[in-house]
Structure 1
Amino acid sequence: MAGVTHLAALGWTPDRAAELPPDSRPARVVRVDRGWLRVVSDDGERSVPAVAALHETAPGAVARTTVARTTAARSGAVLDRPGPPGGPAVGDWVALRAGWAVAVLPRRSAFVRTVAGRTSAAQVVAANLDAVLVVDALAGPARPRRVERYLAVAWSSGATPVVVLTKADLCDDVPAAVAQVAEVALGVEVLPVSSVTGEGLAAVAAAVGPGRTAAMVGPSGVGKSSLANALAGVPVAPTREIRADGRGRHTTTARELHVLPGGVLLVDTPGMRELALHDDADGVAAAYADVAELAAACRFRDCAHRTEPGCAVAAAIDAGTLDPARYVAWRKLEAEAHRQALRSDARARATERARVRAFTRALRAQPNRPRS
């Protein structure tokens, strides 16, 4: 991040000044490493510790909070507000005081997924985004269902989705491949690009714009790191060859924010073998706006879209205007988002009960507590 000395170049806007706690200054998180934050402010780049209470929504963090608050208080770094879900993330704006990150400023947008495994915990992939670049490769067959899933999460982030199709130099018919993806990416710009020939790089940079932040998301092996290097003009992310079985390799191991020539701010992310929704009902509705519109036109509000009379969805499938596979994918993601919403509510209730129990135990343990 050498050479960046002005907050505007990092995406700072004057209206954020009112969000800063007293006697603090802003910095942007460009990398998160085991509780330490790599941040950039108007006087350069450094690593700073974060008050652990900023992470207290993460599993196991409640027990560490009291000790961490005491340690931070001794250095003058007092927590100013509760930590955000998932803790600080790349792209966050934080408030610095006495060498500590003491608050995370309100997020304007965030790409959020559910942590892999049997959990309902949220993982913030990147925050304060203007665009989400959903990256897939033109090498090999099209994967419309995968693109749809990423778009559902991207729409719910609050940022503008853009589909970027890499490895255009390996595709025999780029226009046809782009058209196939565009059929499922409703209202989304679809850009073919080649990191080898440079085709489409300018269009990708223009889709984001100077001083604006984009995160690249997608599975391993689709060329995200190569695209980051091509956009930067210099190596900023490691790359590796695709495995012999055609599956991608993890080359990026941590999310990191890069400032590219022209002022674009780009977050490179590790490949995601699993993208679980996190209560993304609105994102699913946006990604499948055509199906949702048909469902709203059904005769019965509780139509199951099977054999009910007056079903607009079934009629569209019969008429050939709606791909049955797209309808099945919509139902699957809707059900997944609903299940996740129920799990998140249950987890929130359990977390609150645990917090109350811990607070009660702490009160009882105070030696000077009045006895009844």
Structure 2
Amino acid sequence: MTYDLQDLGWSSFFTRQIDDDTARPFRVSEVHRSSLTAFSPEGVSRLISPDHETGAIAVGDWVLADDEFRVTTILERQTLLQRRAAGHEVKPQLIAANVDTLFIVSSCNADFNIARLERYLALANAAGSYPVVLLTKADICDNPSEFRRQIEQLPLAPVVETINAKDEADVKAAMNWVKPGQTAAFVGSSGVGKTTLANGMTGDSDVTAAVREADSRGRHTTTSRFLKRMLNGGWLIDTPGMRELQLFDAQEGLDAVFEDLQSLAQQCKFNDCSHESEPGCAVKAALEAGEIDADRVERWRKLERENLYNSESLAQARTRQKTFSRHVKSVMKGSKKRKGR
């Protein structure tokens, strides 16, 4: 089946970036180690990326390619979901690009974690995607409204849908947050029902895995990211379950999620107040008066420290890389001069 550019999510935002009428746009549906799978009005194509590491391209990206299906340009993104990659080295890992709606999936059991939810909300707000929380397994939970209540108590609480992922009406209600041509993505732990939801939204029949009853944890059934057509004309990027989500370059997202605490912090006597022992601290005063939740303040402090550390480390790594590249070019240039004598 083929789609026109508008079906695939093309808009004037991308049109403005092209000054060559012969350019061939493609929407990336899968990222492999040395190649890409992508949609275009001509169908599905395999693209090669000689000038870009595929790690710099995300599922959902729009790219331009030549007649030999070599990527020549990665178009600027409207939104980009990214996190710190696993491991000791601080570097980014791209999750998905050009995502309009971020479905944050959690289940009504031991998987539910308000601190993790705040991380996902910060991720969505930093990227510019609209967050919608999907609380799954409501059909096997004694009191699903309690989980919903915890989310709705958050300042600027996101939209919440409490659903049974196997119920067609519930799945359609979630799909209503994605219009034809728009793109959604899933984030959440393994075992929360993302694959079951994806099957209901796309008509696929991917295999699901059982969840351990002891801790409600599941196994990875989705191991790669794929862009799939939804039954309502939208697009869905299914992602593997995340055991860890480390934030960086997410200050704007944190400011949105913790807007109430940020407003308080602006009333502190000192601009660099750590909100722990400084005199004139508005946050500390609100804590002592019982006006704000101590656990939430601690989560805010933790995420602020994490984001600052990762952002600064990444900036330093990029500076070192640029310095090293300039040094290599200088050495090579000097070597050529000596050879020419």
Q: How does 1:1-372 map to 2 (within 5 A)?
A: 3-20=1-18, 22=20, 23-51=22-50, 53-55=51-53, 86-98=55-67, 99-140=69-110, 142-184=112-154, 186-198=156-168, 200-235=170-205, 237-243=206-212, 245=214, 246-364=216-334, 366=336, 370-371=340-341
Q: Is this contact kept in 2: 1:193–1:199, CA < 8 A?
A: no
Q: Is this contact kept in 2: 1:212–1:264, CA < 8 A?
A: yes
SS in 1 for 2:82: strand
Shift of 1:185: 6.4
SS in 2 for 1:297: coil
Q: What do residues 59-115 of structure 1 show as CA deviations (whole Å, max 9, x unaligned)?
A: xxxxxxxxxxxxxxxxxxxxxxxxxxx411100000010221111111111001011
CA distance 1:274–1:185, shift in 2 (3 Å):
farther
CA distance in 2, matches of 1:225, 1:138: 16
Shift of 1:178: 0.5
Amino acid corresponding to residue 229 of structure 2 in structure 1: V
TM-score, length of structure 2 as denominator length: 0.92
Q: Is this contact kept in 2: 1:253–1:270, CA < 8 A?
A: yes
SS in 2 for 1:210: coil
CA distance in 1, matches of 2:111, 2:58: 34
CA distance 1:302–1:278, shift in 2 (3 Å):
closer
SS in 2 for 1:272: coil
Q: What do residues 267-314 of structure 1 show as CA deviations (whole Å, max 9, x unaligned)?
A: 000111111112212211111112111212234333332344443322
CA distance in 2, matches of 1:161, 1:266: 14
Q: Is this contact kept in 1: 2:178–2:184, CA < 8 A?
A: yes
SS in 1 for 2:117: helix
Tell me the percent identity.
36
Q: Is this contact kept in 1: 2:166–2:197, CA < 8 A?
A: no
SS in 1 for 2:124: helix
SS in 2 for 1:231: helix
Gaps of at least 5 residues in structure 1 are 59-85
CA distance 1:302–1:356, shift in 2 (3 Å):
closer
Q: Which moved more, 1:241-250 or 1:38-47?
A: 241-250
SS in 2 for 1:124: strand
TM-score, length of structure 1 as denominator length: 0.85
1:75 equivalent in structure 2: none
Q: Is this contact kept in 2: 1:297–1:312, CA < 8 A?
A: yes
SS in 1 for 2:122: helix
Q: Is this contact kept in 1: 2:126–2:250, CA < 8 A?
A: yes
Amino acid corresponding to residue 120 of structure 1 in structure 2: V
SS in 1 for 2:237: strand
SS in 2 for 1:321: coil
Amino acid corresponding to residue 44 of structure 1 in structure 2: G
Q: Is this contact kept in 2: 1:20–1:95, CA < 8 A?
A: no
CA distance 1:319–1:123, shift in 2 (3 Å):
same
Q: Which moved more, 1:331-340 or 1:312-321?
A: 312-321
Q: Is this contact kept in 2: 1:257–1:268, CA < 8 A?
A: yes
SS in 1 for 2:106: strand
CA distance 1:19–1:135, shift in 2 (3 Å):
same
Gaps of at least 5 residues in structure 2 are none
Q: Is this contact kept in 1: 2:6–2:181, CA < 8 A?
A: yes
CA distance in 2, matches of 1:181, 1:169: 19
CA distance in 1, matches of 2:272, 2:329: 44
SS in 1 for 2:56: coil
Q: How many residues are paired up?
A: 338
SS in 2 for 1:155: helix
CA distance 1:364–1:183, shift in 2 (3 Å):
same
CA distance in 1, matches of 2:186, 2:236: 7
CA distance in 2, matches of 1:301, 1:356: 37
CA distance in 2, matches of 1:321, 1:191: 29
Amino acid corresponding to residue 29 of structure 1 in structure 2: V
Shift of 1:350: 0.9
SS in 1 for 2:315: helix
CA distance in 2, matches of 1:88, 1:10: 17
Shift of 1:13: 1.1
